Chain A
Amino acid sequence: MLADLVFWGLSVVAVVSGASVFRVDSMARATYALAVSFVAVGAALLLMRLDYLGLITVLMMVMEMAVMAVYMVMFMGMNPALMPMSMVHGKRAAVAAAVTVFVVLSGGALLVDWPARRGAPAPDTVAALGEALMGSKMLVMMAISPVMIATMVAGIAVAAPRGRYDRFGDDLRSPAADPQRGGVGR
């Protein structure tokens, strides 16, 4: 009973704060609203005894939203807490698509005859996850790891203002064309 109440409370917080991301008047508040939505979902995961994943969700998303707030300030070029904004296009089509998606997904959730629960959760779900990752499911981590590394390299390659091909041209042994002399390897 208590778990039900907590779940519905968290659900309302998650959905309302998620919706307010696109309704509030400032980007900073939108970022905070999204962080609140993620924290509520992370807490809901804790209710389902996903201790590690719930905690990771909360920690990761709070940090991510902090980074996002910095990006807002960088790109918007204004005080993100004070500037009212409404920058949307195709609002009607977007609302129609969102309502359709909700009706289809929730209709499926309610109409499908879900099977009974198979098995029981491990007494310590965190230890079970750790043992799975270090044992039978290690291939998953081995696949995720290079993807993460590739993301870091690709992210820097895309975002860096002047890479080595900008400095040296196609022939990486030629003298660097830098706006200022000096520096490493010049």
Chain B
Amino acid sequence: MTLDAVLVVAAALFAVGVYGALSQQVVVMVMMGLELMNNGVLLAAAAMWWFLAPDPTGQVLLLVVLAAMTVEMAMGFAVATLFHRERGSDMTDMAEDLAG
């Protein structure tokens, strides 16, 4: 187990998440892609901590990543609920007018 190896695995997780976030039509599946991207970030940050500077500061940073994941999921579910109520749909293609 080396830093390079863990970072490559984290990159693979992140890349799979990118595919999901860009390709999926269902809002909840898009959120799954974002979660996988966060998963990769979590693993990469943990590897940086362990292999480069294993002091408590890095652990605190990982805690922030986890908190960001929970916020993303909570607000994502809230927006998905509102979207489903307003438009009776869970597809991103039905929300193209939100693109700005």
> Which residues of A approach B to under 8 Å, CB–CB?
3-4, 7-8, 11, 14-15, 18-19, 21-22, 27, 30-31, 34, 37-38, 41, 44-45, 47-50, 52-53, 56-57, 60, 64, 67-68, 71-72, 74-76, 87-91, 93-95, 97-99, 101-102, 105-106, 109-110, 114-115, 117-122, 125, 128-129, 131-133, 137, 140, 144, 147-148, 151-152, 154-156, 158-159, 161
Contacts and interface: CB of A to CB of B under 8 A. Distances in A.
Nearest to A133: B60
A148 B64 CA distance: 11
Nearest to B35: A34
B90 A98 contact: no
B71 to A, nearest CB: 5
B11 A21 contact: no
23 contacts: A21-B16, A21-B32, A34-B35, A37-B39, A41-B13, A45-B43, A48-B47, A50-B50, A68-B32, A71-B80, A75-B26, A75-B90, A93-B22, A98-B16, A102-B15, A105-B7, A105-B10, A117-B53, A119-B53, A131-B56, A137-B60, A155-B77, A158-B75
A37 B73 contact: no
B75 A90 contact: no
Contacts of B84: 74-75
B interface SS class? helix
Contacts, number: 233
A14 B70 CA distance: 20
A151 B80 contact: no
Interface string B1-24: 101111111111111111110111
In the A-B complex, the 8 residue pairs with the smallest Cβ-Cβ separation, listed nearest first, are: A109-B7, A132-B56, A94-B23, A102-B15, A105-B11, A98-B19, A121-B54, A94-B22
A121 B59 CA distance: 11
B95 interface: no
Nearest to A104: B11
Interface residues of B, number: 70
Contacts of B52: 114-115, 117-118
Interface of B: 1, 3-20, 22-29, 31-33, 35-36, 39, 42-43, 46-47, 49-57, 59-60, 62-64, 66-67, 69-71, 73-75, 77-82, 84-85, 90-91, 93
B56 A128 contact: yes
Given A90-B22, A114-B51, 5 more contacts: A18-B16, A48-B47, A50-B62, A75-B27, A98-B18
B81 to A, nearest CB: 4
A98 B59 contact: no
A21 B49 CA distance: 28
